Amino acid sequence: MSAADPTCRYAEFHARSLADPAAFWAEQADLIDWERPFDQVVDTTHPPFARWFVGGRTNLCHNAVDRHAATHPDRRALIWVSTEVDQRREWTFAALQREVEATAAILRRHGVGPGDRVLIYCPMVPEAVFAMLACARIGAIHSVVFGGFASHSLAGRIEDCTPKLVVSCDAGSRGGKVQGYQPLLEEALRLSAHKVDRVLWIDRGLVPIERQPGRDLDYAAEREAVAQERVPCEWLESNEVSYTLYTSGTTGKPKGVQRDVGGYAVALAASIRHIFDGRPGETFFSTSDIGWVVGHSYIVYGPLIAGMATLMVEGLPIRPDPGIWWRLVQEYQVTVMFSAPTAVRVLRKADPAYLSQSDLSSLRSLFLAGEPLDEPTARWIRDALGKPVVDNYWQTETGWPILTLARGVAPMNERLGSPGVPMYGYNAVLVDPETGATLEGPNQKGVLALDYPLPPGCLQTVWRDDARYVKTYWSSIPGRQLYSTFDVATRDSEGYTFILGRSDDVINVAGHRLGTREIEECIAGLASVAEVAVVGVADELKGQVAVAFVVPKQADLSEDELARQVGQQVNEQLGAVARPARVHAVAALPKTRSGKLLRRAMQALCEGRELGDLSTLEDATTLQALAQKLRPV
């Protein structure tokens, strides 16, 4: 392999980040502004905890807004498009700074200061972005909860983060259906043992808000009252807390992923340059939601830190028609787009003419993440766009990609079925879950784990629960202190990693360990299959068996014929041991609002167990139909 080979160039870049992380990350730290230089790049004296850029003082809002407002005040910063209420608005960096300062003045006026928590419970409205950046500006800690989250789950998050103030909205809209937020929030506040002092309401005029005197504030009125106030950035030591974001836990109690300030800013700045190949003045379009980690990293902070415009959309990919996203790419000259496989599969069902009707010449790459990207979907969108389609794999906990292709470093070829190779800073290994031994050779199955220390931008700990952080993430690999991703993977001879599924989704059929993703990929290759989910179900004889839930492309395809095709396909590609014991033809698969399959709920239904927390369920009727189908006669 020659030095000019892109794979070799990236391998050298990655190796340097592991061999001398202090020097490597000191270079990356130059991508952001520091009010005070750091004394030490990384403090590893208390493993598994790590502190990055110790002693340095910076501010996320300064790096995302103020520094660009000072040098390029008229450059476009935030673009908001709502196909739900048919509105569009834009802000330059100078205008965005004014809005963020006004929101910061509102928060400060009502007693919010450094270290205080602000819970943001909003749909995809620009005021929610102002609130996030305002918290970062004054050193408050924001905790964004996905809009429309159920009251019980919202109450748990309120109790855990104990906010001084909540920012919310009269309503959101999805597919033209308005959902009021006040009933959900009021019930959550009633259930929570923690009492909130103030609720700041953003009134969109969609539904009435019944304000509680002494507690409730009107955003527009407050904005008018502080219109002329200036609020300087609060310079924070790099390791102070920027935000918490809740992710599901195996115990049912959500974990508050805690992020720092300096490490996160550096990690995002580096990722926009090295991974996404984004450049100042260009437009980044992430189709995620601010309630998820992708929204935090690649709608709000990442693109703005890099001096890019960020396109934020409220609406579905098929409303008003399946061409809407591609028209936005053309209109705003999007260069980097970030979406999810679920959205692509939705668009795949539409007339392909919607893709060809827009000029996509500005688009360099489409990145996909959030769930495994199956080969048929990847091949379709790659061929339809005629652009590189780059899978990437990461977690709420890491804040930025673990596995992908660093297109800003070297133009490596994507490999269908694989999110890519380990990113710089991540020492990613495959380990035997029983012995903890590192699996060195290619094509071996193991748990994907990360060596200490985690690079900048990853979680510091679990909010107010260091013990849970250590026990959950650093204690499951026998005999070793490694961070477990809890995902099973293989790696080929060139270092490309293939994610097979969660370690608790690996099924043991008569002593054979099988990844459910492996079986799903196989079944998804059938021309008759639109979507598929495979779960492991307890079996008295074999320990577990695979059960497949398949959405057929043709409504008139019988379940027996579908089962025959599935069985033959799996027999031929994986062997009889992997063949599902049962194949259920279903009209739709139950998913969360972010598009993730509810595999555990499907497994629980098969085994007659309680379904657990379904607060993120997209459509209850889908799960109800499944329960009816599986009910014993």
SS3 string, 251-265, reads: CCCCEEEEEECHHHH
- The whole-angstrom separation of Cα 514 and Cα 199 is 49
In a domain, 148, yes or no: no
Phi, psi for 482 (deg, rounded to 5): -125, 150
Q: What is the DSSP letter of 400?
A: S
Rg (the chain; Cα; Å): 24
What local confidence, expressed as pLDDT, does residue 249 receive? Answer: 54
Do the Cβ atoms of 406 and 393 come closer than 8 Å?
no
Residue 194 belongs to a domain? no
| Residue environment code for 332-361, b if the CB has 16+ CB neighbours within 10 A, otherwise e | bebbbbbbbbbbbbebbeeeeebbeebebe
Give 13's contacts (C-beta < 8 A, 6+ positions apart).
274, 406, 409, 410, 424
CATH of the domain at 593: 3.30.300.30
* Residue 353 one-letter amino acid: A
**Residue 553 domain-assigned (yes or no):** yes
Residue 393 and residue 402 in contact, taking contact as beta carbons nearer than 8 Å: yes
Q: Is residue 44 part of a domain?
A: no
**Which residues of the chain fall below pLDDT 50?**
1-3, 250-251, 633
Whole-prediction pTM value?
0.86
In a domain, 147, yes or no: no
CA atoms within 13 A on the CB side of 573: 17
* The token pair that represents 348 in the structure block: 């795949």
Are 219 and 203 contacting, i.e. CB atoms less than 8 angstroms apart?
Answer: yes
Domain span at 577: 512-630
Spatial CA neighbour of 588 closest among 563, 619, 567: 619
pLDDT at 4: 61
pLDDT of 614 reads 64
Q: Is 596 a member of any domain?
A: yes
The pair of three-digit structure tokens given for residue 418, joined into one six-digit string: 């694989």
Q: Count structural domains, the chain.
A: 1
Please check whether residue 526 is in contact with residue 565, taking contact to mean a CB–CB distance below 8 angstroms: yes
H helices within 396-545, ranges in order?
466-474, 516-524
314 occurs within a structural domain: no
Identify whether 118 is part of a domain.
no
As a dihedral over the C-alpha atoms of residue 297, residue 305, residue 162, residue 239, rounded to 10 degrees, the angle is 100
Report residue 166: phi and psi, to 5°: -115, 135
